Structure 1
Amino acid sequence: MSTASGTGADPVGPATRLIVLSGPSGVGKSTVVREIRDHHPEVWLSVSATTRPPRPGETDGVEYHFTDDDGFDRLIAEGELLEWAEFAGNRYGTPRRPVEDRLRTGRPVLLEIDLQGARQVRENMPGALLVFLAPPSWEELVRRLTGRGTEAPDVIQRRLEAARVELAAEKEFDTTLVNTSVQDVRDELLALVRAPQV
């Protein structure tokens, strides 16, 4: 798979804070991010582009920038994505320019992306802090995924297979948070966002 283009050098100064939140599907990343969005506007949350159709209650420009395959191809070709990956038949990517603009102003930025995307961000922005969100147990992750009721069984099966791979990659991350409580994870994540740069 092609990766996002970049020089490998951090385009922003050391005073900024870029946090990458990743982890297996169903672990609760979106719930944690929603909590921060609703109560901590000082943290800028990057909105990914995706070819996935909206789920009930999702709004374009809030949860995702929804686009079709042609639109996503244009973003890749024009170097407009910091990272992108394909998952369960859909593509997801982080628009580069809004992230770099916020970091230049010194505003902390939080990205919620998958394992492939986190690896690409590490290449393109080595100063990013990669945070792995882990489930309390494998059984709890299975329960959360099957309890959504929004996806077909074959999609759930693919997500579970991908989750095993993603859990094995935990050691690639700078730190791990276990999602036993959304509020606890939110507070731990905010502490990382606000921590002074090394």
Structure 2
Amino acid sequence: MKKEKGLLIVLSGPAGVGKGTVCSALRSKNTDIQYSVSATTRKPRAGEVDGVNYFFKSHDEFQTMIANDKLLEWAEYVGNFYGTPVDYVRETLDRGQDIILEIEVQGAMKVREAFPEGVFIFLMPPSLAELRKRIVGRGTETAEVIDARMTVAKEEIDLMKMYDYVVENDAVELAVNRIRSIVTAEHCKRVRLIEKYKELVEVE
């Protein structure tokens, strides 16, 4: 029987909405979902590890990756670059494994052009006030950067209409359960399975 191709899951939303926390919790419950580590030019935060949380690159190194078509998507966000290495994504999907991209909204729009069959999930904060509170709570951003992130967040929320699903991150466990339900439903879609099961009725 034909092997089912892996599912490309794209999780994005405003900075501070909790993408990283939700993604980690999702992967702890769905251990078969592979995580695509993004490349970035921003400095590591406390506790972040190169090659685990991100591939931390200089601006020159990042520009070389762009020039060599080594990125599925890339975007500049509040003065830093972020991108998704393309080879790992394609190889994982071809092995029949699901892979999740935790990326910024700009990048998600570029991935949609290259992988329209992907599943695009927008992670939404309960409110803008709560979003600001979460960003401030990090203790890693200046007031100027926080204001810039909030301005961008409003623009990003307007792009929610470009996504397949919207999940509110009111509580991490609830958000994870909603995403798990989406993944299960997507694996049962007729368009994903029709070729696989045609083999059962083919006349020799």
Residue of structure 1 aligned with 2:37, choices 39, 47, 64: 47
Structure 1 counterpart of 2:198? none
Structure 2 counterpart of 1:183? 173
How much does 1:186 deviate?
Answer: 1.2
Q: Any gaps of 5 or more consecutive residues in structure 1? A: 1-12
Distance 2:110 2:116 in 1: 10
Question: Are the equivalent residues in 2 in contact too, given 1:16–1:103 (CA < 8 A)?
Answer: yes
Aligned-partner residue type, residue 55 of structure 2 = H
Structure 2 counterpart of 1:17? 7
Residue of structure 2 aligned with 1:128, choices 118, 136, 140: 118
Structure 2 counterpart of 1:172? 162
Query: Counting helix residues as a fraction of each chain, which structure ranks higher?
Result: 2
Structure 2 counterpart of 1:90? 80
How much does 1:34 deviate?
Answer: 1.8
How much does 1:39 deviate?
Answer: 4.0
How much does 1:14 deviate?
Answer: 6.4
How much does 1:16 deviate?
Answer: 2.3
Structure 2 counterpart of 1:102? 92
Q: Which has the larger radius of gyration?
A: 2
Using structure 1 for the length normalisation, give the TM-score: 0.90
Question: Are the equivalent residues in 1 in contact too, given 2:132–2:146 (CA < 8 A)?
Answer: no
Distance 1:18 1:150 in 2: 31
Q: Any gaps of 5 or more consecutive residues in structure 2? A: 192-204
Alignment pair present for 1:116 and 2:106 = yes
Alignment pair present for 1:66 and 2:52 = no
Structure 1 counterpart of 2:139? 149
Q: What secondary structure sits across from 1:49 in the alignment?
A: strand
How much does 1:172 deviate?
Answer: 1.0
Question: Are the equivalent residues in 1 in contact too, given 2:169–2:175 (CA < 8 A)?
Answer: yes
How much does 1:148 deviate?
Answer: 1.3
Question: Are the equivalent residues in 2 in contact too, given 1:108–1:193 (CA < 8 A)?
Answer: no
Alignment pair present for 1:158 and 2:152 = no
Residue of structure 1 aligned with 2:130, choices 127, 140, 159: 140
How much does 1:165 deviate?
Answer: 0.3
Distance 2:42 2:27 in 1: 21
Using structure 2 for the length normalisation, give the TM-score: 0.87
Equivalent residues, number: 186
Q: What secondary structure sits across from 2:120 in the alignment?
A: strand
How much does 1:193 deviate?
Answer: 2.3
Post-superposition CA distance 1:76-119 (Å, at most 9, x none):
00100000000111100000000000000110111011111111
Percentage identity across aligned positions? 45
Q: Which runs of 4+ in 1 moved over 6 A?
A: none
Q: What secondary structure sits across from 1:169 in the alignment?
A: helix
Alignment pair present for 1:36 and 2:33 = no
CA RMSD, aligned part only?
A: 1.4
How much does 1:180 deviate?
Answer: 0.8
